[in-house]
Amino acid sequence: MKKVIVGLSGGVDSAVAVIKLKEAGYLVEGMFMRNWDSSLNNDVLGNPNNFDEICPQEQDYNDALITANQLGIKLHRVDFVKEYWEYVFTYFLDEYKKNRTPNPDILCNSEIKFKFFLEAAVKLDADYIAMGHYARVVHYPDVVLKRGIDDSKDQSYFLCQLNREQLSKSLFPIGELTKKEVREIALKHNLKIAKKKDSTGVCFIGERDFKLFLENYLPAKPGLMKTLRNEVVGKHDGLMYYTIGQRKGLGLGGDFGPWFVLGKDVINNVLIVGYKDDQNYLYSDMCFAINFNWLSEDFTEIFCTAKFRYRSKDIKVKITKITNNKVKVEYPNKFRAVTPGQAVVFYDGEVLLGGATIDEVYNEGIKRKY
């Protein structure tokens, strides 16, 4: 009998993953990851005031323990606080220092959930690990990662940096289910967390006032908001708090609206904004991407589709491999608000081919001030 250790988070998805695995005949145990400690990160690492919130992970652990007891499985608890800080959160802060917009959930998957968690599970003699992700993996004859059946919940985008070895040891038991079906299974088994709402926010850090949270780690540098015509129209609180294409929270009004973030002049600490007549500036037709990870056959040039954000539609792209770490991505039909620091994820139909981190963005040969 194959042994599987499930990342039991205290939520409904991972709980139903346990149910599906037990029904399939696996020997199942759970493991709860503790990855964030507010007091440790403040006191030991010297971060300042304003940060006295109680981390919600203890409540999640209690929910995971209740679920494990209801389902009759053993629950282990592992501590990856220092690993999360070193391999995920430090990168997260470094990207914000560069005024880029990172996606920590992707790094959290590749470095924590499918690396340190996997290593801990192997020490417990596990044959596989399993997570409550809405995605699918095929192990034979080749390792293939596919989108989840539920388009509205598909999480394959966040798995784009996993490698073949990680995927070969991974199972996604709810990838063939819709969220509605998952809830129904949880209710059928009378799980106490059956109606618990889904978690949101930064991976493992949770729901917080993000601006206040970031202020604990990075000093804000207020500056001017200017238009493409160099007109001063307001002041910003710090370039790191804004994303390309952002519309809300700019504090700008008037007859020209709505206003959008068009770019960032990092050297002069200027936030470039525009109104409806300037929206074309948000579009691009080419980008360079780094941290390239590929799960399919090697290539020099290839045509496929890509997502530039989690909720964005797939668009047709041409990828040209420059080095093993860097690619050029061309999309002649153009796309709005392609943002450095975010992920571009490549697909062939249902199959995830790979992913990379957007580095530089161009439109008609001109580099954007992002």
Residue ranges per structural domain of the chain: 3-210, 220-274, 280-367
Nearest to 308 by CA among 152, 159, 92, 157: 157
Nearest to 94 by CA among 272, 357, 268, 341: 341
- For the segment 91-117, the average pLDDT, to the nearest whole number, is 92
Higher per-residue pLDDT: 278 or 18: 18
- Mean pLDDT over all residues of the chain? 91
The phi, psi pair for 27, rounded to 5°, reads -85, 115
Distance (Å, whole) CA 225 – CA 231: 8
Q: CATH assignment of 3-210, given 3.40.50.620, 3.40.50.410, 3.30.2020.30, 3.30.70.100?
A: 3.40.50.620
> Tokens at residue 166, please?
């990680």
> Tokens at residue 175, please?
């990838």
User: Please, which residues bridge with residue 171 across strands?
Assistant: 130
Per-residue pLDDT tens digits for 120-173: 999 999 999 999 999 999 999 999 999 999 999 999 999 999 999 999 999 999
Q: What is the pTM of this model?
A: 0.91
- Choose the most confident range, by mean pLDDT, from 59-63, 94-98, 164-168: 164-168
CATH no. for 280-367? 2.40.30.10
> Tokens at residue 123, please?
């020490």
pLDDT of 255 over the 80 cut: no
- Predicted pLDDT of residue 174: 98
pLDDT of 175 over the 70 cut: yes
Nearest to 127 by CA among 76, 168, 74: 168
User: Please, which residues bridge with residue 264 across strands?
Assistant: 271
Between the alpha carbon of residue 250 and those of residues 1, 206, 234, 260, the distances in Å are 57, 24, 9, 8
- For the segment 255-279, the average pLDDT, to the nearest whole number, is 89
pLDDT of 230 over the 60 cut: yes
Angle at 204 between CA 97 and CA 185, to 5 degrees: 145
- Predicted pLDDT of residue 202: 60
Other CB atoms within 10 A of residue 183 CB:
18
Distance (Å, whole) CA 286 – CA 188: 49
- Predicted pLDDT of residue 39: 57
Give me the active site residues, please: 108, 203
Strands (E), 144-183: 144-147, 170-171
Q: Which CATH class is domain 220-274?
A: mainly beta
Angle at 244 between CA 240 and CA 249, to 5 degrees: 70
Give the strand order in the sheet containing 170-171.
75-79, 27-34, 3-7, 128-130, 170-171
